Copies of this chain bind each other. A is one copy, B any other.
Amino acid sequence: MKWDTLDEEPCSLSRTVAVVGDRWTLLILRECFLRVRRFEAFQSSLQITRHLLSERLKKLVRFGILRRVPYSEAPKRYEYILTQKGLDLYPIIMAMVHWGDTHMGDERGRPLLHEHRNCGKLFDPVMVCSECGEVLHAKQVHVHAGPGREEAVG
């Protein structure tokens, strides 16, 4: 497979995978949502090699998920901030955290707890239908080919 054109496949999952579908990128995004912004901070908290961190940050900037914002003029220094496109990845990250909480836990309990500021309670993320508000389950969903997929593609 040509990973370099995965973001042009007629499949929204492939396109997303092209951008965030590797281990380091997902871990970097976790740090972003925990308010980490600087190269050294990512590097020391993730123990990622500097080379790969540099690569991944460039890629995330290229795809419009992070913005590289100067915070010092001399010497020139930048920090990496989530754009709206990046903030919109939150459901993906939270869905992964929730699955990990549910299926990969150990006897020590959850590593992190999440509080919803609006209601003040500790919560779990739940995925619902935009139309009827009910909780979604895979078996209740039927898939149709949309306009972006010629039937031939399968």
A5 at interface, CB cutoff 8 A:
no
Tell me the bound Cα distance from A140 to B117 in angstroms: 5
In the complex the two chains form, is A26's CB within 8 Å of B17's CB?
yes
Collect the chain B residues with CB atoms within 8 Å of residue A47's CB.
1
Cβ-neighbour of A119 out of B15, B102, B131 (below 8 A): B131
A140, chain B: closest CB distance, angstroms = 4
Cβ-neighbour of A128 out of B22, B93, B106, B126 (below 8 A): B126
A62 at interface, CB cutoff 8 A:
no
Which chain A residues in 125-154 approach chain B with CB under 8 Å?
125-134, 136-149, 154
A74 at interface, CB cutoff 8 A:
no
A40 at interface, CB cutoff 8 A:
no
Tell me the bound Cα distance from A22 to B46 in angstroms: 17
Tell me the bound Cα distance from A84 to B84 in angstroms: 33
